[in-house]
Chain A
């Protein structure tokens, strides 16, 4: 019982991060109909930027911890968003209207480029950040087993919830969100109504990258170690989450992330941690085979 509860907490934390990354995949797919395979790398860059900010803060003697955390979040989100914007401008926009294979290849090229770029500039060794704070809330204890919601985990879950709620509000309630959805449904018509579709696409990449940056920083808080290759596996898992939830659906991405996080935590705990990645990929294959529209995605039924 206690063990299961602990896995639930671990799964939630993991799922929160996957969900944040998955939103980027799903939004970009929604608006330009392609999978941004460089998105995992954007997440990795977000993680690196928050480590760099941390290192910079300690070198300059900036404290206390909350201030450092805010600086990490701010710097990482701002610069990662810039990377997201640049990826669209360089790798995708010139290929708009080209056969579908072209942007796909360009996306993979972008992904390889970003990995190598970080490896060259930051080195191939693992970067680590000491745990910023220890301990947590003990939820349950019996004999020698304690279930704790670590402060870092709690931060990850709370920050993710706040970011997702704000984001959902923006998409459903604001005029930008409305225009964003209009561009997803019918970009030509959106342009005829005076909406700048190119700008909306740019902003979509920027937002997706910002959310991935938050996830990257959360990974740093949670694990304390990163290297240039973390984007690959995390990217594929978040992609699986997006597909599981229904590609193109934002609530689906959040739900899918959560489910993948939970599956991974419980699989590692009860079956075999070595094969936890296999579990995720099996889900990907099964969903694609039996329910390609995902859990919350539905084929469009429209009257014309």
Chain B
């Protein structure tokens, strides 16, 4: 589904990713864990060409997307729920969802709206409300719903639980699992909440200072003493 081959990325002189190799296979949930500033968000946005990979190749469903402009990449069945949600605050919930459907150019809008509303009923009741006035949890649901409006085959989630109450986090995680198990959606998940992420993930990668330092199945990483010391015990 997705393959990164020795991908590096820079912000000016700062190197944020160092020759990252990473694979996400169809049907998997893959999680990426790492400390603040490790480069997790950068990895996700580099897939969309912002910043552009300074070396290496990015393959999506076998095709090289490394040099495509961001909006063209977004039209290839890949959708991002970005860090901080980034809903369009001045627009209604409905308009935000319609914008998510941009890659389909008007196809299946009604069906996809209904799917999103059945996943997150609260969005339907808030349909005309300005997104900026939603609660944090509702905004997160909107950001996920917006991404789903384009019928992606690969969904990228960047810290969907950040700043949310435990109850809401549970809803979000349950939704992620359901999307994967029931709808066959392939998911790449970045989480601070490493324990919960590794529990639901098939496989995981550990990123440190822009490098992949460890990879393995979710269970194996959960049991790994290094991972426990650095990312699990400290957090919980």
**Is B25 part of the contact surface with A, judged by Cβ < 8 Å?**
no
In the docked arrangement, what's the CA distance between A121 and B82, Å? 52
**Centre residue among B80, B82, B89, B135 by max chain A CB count within 10 A:** B89
Provided the pairs A182-B88, A186-B86, A300-B89 are in contact, do residues A193 and B132 lie with their beta carbons within 8 angstroms?
no
Contact of A192 among B74, B133, B134, B139 (CB under 8 A): B74
Q: Closest residue of chain A to B89, judged by CB? A: A302
Provided the pairs A195-B99, A301-B132 are in contact, do residues A181 and B75 lie with their beta carbons within 8 angstroms?
no
Give the bracket for the number of chain A residues in contact with chain B.
Answer: 20 to 34
Contact with A along B75-117 (1 / 0, CB 8 A): 1000010101110111100010011101100100000000000
A96 nearest CB across to chain B (Å): 14
**Centre residue among A179, A186, A192, A301 by max chain B CB count within 10 A:** A192
A103 nearest CB across to chain B (Å): 21
Contact with A along B174-200 (1 / 0, CB 8 A): 000000000000000000000000000
Q: Closest residue of chain A to B95, judged by CB? A: A178
Residues on A with beta carbons closer than 8 Å to the beta carbon of B150 = 193-194
Provided the pairs A178-B95, A304-B84 are in contact, do residues A193 and B89 lie with their beta carbons within 8 angstroms?
no
Contact B48 A192 (CB under 8 A): yes
**Is A146 part of the contact surface with B, judged by Cβ < 8 Å?**
no
**Is A303 part of the contact surface with B, judged by Cβ < 8 Å?**
yes
Q: Is the interface of A mostly helix, strand, loop or mixed?
A: helix
Contact of B100 among A175, A186, A193, A302 (CB under 8 A): A193
Provided the pairs A182-B99, A194-B150 are in contact, do residues A303 and B75 lie with their beta carbons within 8 angstroms?
no
Contact B50 A303 (CB under 8 A): no
Contact with A along B151-183 (1 / 0, CB 8 A): 000000000000000000000000000000000
Contact with B along A100-123 (1 / 0, CB 8 A): 000000000000000000000000
Count B-side interface residues using an 8 Å CB cutoff: 32
Contact A303 B139 (CB under 8 A): yes
Contact A181 B88 (CB under 8 A): yes
**Is B126 part of the contact surface with A, judged by Cβ < 8 Å?**
no
Contact A188 B136 (CB under 8 A): no
Contact B102 A193 (CB under 8 A): yes
Contact B99 A303 (CB under 8 A): no
**Is B146 part of the contact surface with A, judged by Cβ < 8 Å?**
yes
Residues on A with beta carbons closer than 8 Å to the beta carbon of B100 = 193
Contact A303 B48 (CB under 8 A): no
**Is A191 part of the contact surface with B, judged by Cβ < 8 Å?**
yes
Contact A303 B133 (CB under 8 A): yes
Provided the pairs A175-B98, A302-B89 are in contact, do residues A192 and B82 lie with their beta carbons within 8 angstroms?
yes
Residues on B with beta carbons closer than 8 Å to the beta carbon of A301 = 132
Contact B70 A185 (CB under 8 A): no
Contact B88 A194 (CB under 8 A): no
Residues on B with beta carbons closer than 8 Å to the beta carbon of A175 = 98, 106
Residues on B with beta carbons closer than 8 Å to the beta carbon of A189 = 82, 86, 88
Q: Closest residue of chain B to A191, judged by CB? A: B70
In the docked arrangement, what's the CA distance between A194 and B104, Å? 9
Contact A194 B82 (CB under 8 A): no
Contact A194 B89 (CB under 8 A): no
Contact B132 A191 (CB under 8 A): no
**Is A197 part of the contact surface with B, judged by Cβ < 8 Å?**
yes
In the docked arrangement, what's the CA distance between A188 and B99, Å? 13
Q: Closest residue of chain B to A304, judged by CB? A: B84
Contact A194 B103 (CB under 8 A): yes
Contact A185 B74 (CB under 8 A): no
Residues on A with beta carbons closer than 8 Å to the beta carbon of B133 = 303
Contact of A179 among B86, B102, B106, B139 (CB under 8 A): B102
Contact B99 A179 (CB under 8 A): yes
Q: Closest residue of chain B to A186, judged by CB? A: B86
Residues on B with beta carbons closer than 8 Å to the beta carbon of A191 = 48, 50, 69-71, 74
A296 nearest CB across to chain B (Å): 13
B236 nearest CB across to chain A (Å): 26
Which residues of chain B (35-79) have a CB below 8 Å from chain A?
Answer: 45, 48, 50, 69-71, 74-75
Contact of A181 among B50, B90, B102, B132 (CB under 8 A): B90
Which residues of chain A (281-304) have a CB below 8 Å from chain B?
Answer: 300-304
B158 nearest CB across to chain A (Å): 11
A204 nearest CB across to chain B (Å): 16
In the docked arrangement, what's the CA distance between A195 and B75, Å? 9
In the docked arrangement, what's the CA distance between A178 and B95, Å? 7
Provided the pairs A181-B91, A182-B88, A193-B99 are in contact, do residues A303 and B71 lie with their beta carbons within 8 angstroms?
no
Residues on B with beta carbons closer than 8 Å to the beta carbon of A178 = 91, 95, 98-99
Q: 3 smallest A-B Cβ distances: which pairs?
A: A194-B74, A194-B103, A191-B70
